[in-house]
Structure 1
Amino acid sequence: MNRPEAVASVPGLEDPVFAEPWQVEAFAMVVALHEHGLFSWSEWAEVLSAEVHRADAAPDGHDYYEHWLAALEKLLASRGLAPAEEVDALAAAWERAAHATPHGRPILLENDPERQAR
């Protein structure tokens, strides 16, 4: 069993806790940043709650970890640690790298065609 499968399955639960490996990573980042004192748990809960209760949130909650990630991005931006423009630029670079990476190969930012053109 690989790491995401181990973390994503909890004995006694029918469904995995995390549907995708990125959700495990987002969860772990929030816990680690909280443990390092970047924000209090009540502060995190407030920001996450605002995201989860947005008007465009899925009624069935299938987008929960997308809201989790958005809340994390907002907290990091509010602290000046990861401004939204930088996060958006990095996400776009990763997306371009993903499309430029052959199937089955690791996605590396170096594969971003725009980065290679510099």
Structure 2
Amino acid sequence: MGGNEFRFKQFTIRQDRCAMKVGTDGTLLGGWVDISGAEKILDIGTGTGLISLMLAQRSLQRCETLSLAQIDAVEIDVNSSIQARENVERSPWSDRVKIYNSSIQEYTEYCQKSMI
């Protein structure tokens, strides 16, 4: 494993090409934020994709009859967005998390989000 991977119960984050590594703040935020009722989530500055993947996992755990949250993750850094996309593709939630390599100003998808 080593310092370039961070393993969770259901997914692994690779971070060797990302400037911002997995840390306590992102891990706590991903576990703490209230996502009840959120159907569309926007993760600005996703980095490795950690918070997006944690929220995808948590929305699945909370979902009984509600639809699962769709998550858009925006990252301006090219290498980080590539690695975030790879992390998402290796996860069980690749159908619900989309990575965009863009500034938030250029992110132009027109739809409302339940949570940012």
Which has the larger strand fraction?
2
The two structures have a TM-score, normalised by structure 1, of 0.24
The two structures have a TM-score, normalised by structure 2, of 0.24
Which has the larger helix fraction?
1
